[in-house]
Structure 1
């Protein structure tokens, strides 16, 4: 395995991690900012509210995007397993 091939595989793995984790992290980030602004405007600073809102948003995002993300991850894994002979020799 050449260094270029190893870096290419590493780059592809990181891209898959970003595609799978990115939408979920962005959902939690947006909900956190919105809840933070609402809490600052109402002066209701309770950490439980932010946690419950983020957990609910993450659950909703997983229900909405879970099948797409799983298919993307399985496709990458199958493709990686099919490339193993090329990677070894």
Structure 2
């Protein structure tokens, strides 16, 4: 039976997973954006392409390198949710 405690656990686990997956993709772009911003501030070059392109490339690289782990983690969570659903039904 779905009790409030079980529902809270499901929501907590899902939010944790979302934050983990998003952090893996956003953090490298954030670091590169910070470095590029410091470089632009030091050299006073205000080119929009210079700030966008490195972040895009690093994000694509992170997806390429971490994609298998991201998909595996998401699939493991999906299997766990279905197993919990089957246990809750009976």
- Partner residue of 1:41? 42
Distance, in Å, in 2 between the alignment partners of 1:15 and 1:88 is 25
Distance, in Å, in 2 between the alignment partners of 1:10 and 1:88 is 18
Aligned pairs, number: 89
- How is 1:2-81 mapped onto 2 (pairs within 5 angstroms)? 2-81=3-82
| Structure 1 residue ranges, 4+ long, deviating more than 2 angstroms after superposition | 85-89
Shift of 1:71: 0.5
In structure 2, runs of 5+ residues without a counterpart are none
| TM-score, normalised relative to structure 1 | 0.92
Distance, in Å, in 2 between the alignment partners of 1:60 and 1:5 is 37
Distance, in Å, in 1 between the alignment partners of 2:18 and 2:88 is 20
Shift of 1:81: 1.0
Shift of 1:24: 0.9
- Partner residue of 2:85? 84
Q: Larger relative contact order (C-alpha < 8 A, sep ≥ 6)?
A: 1
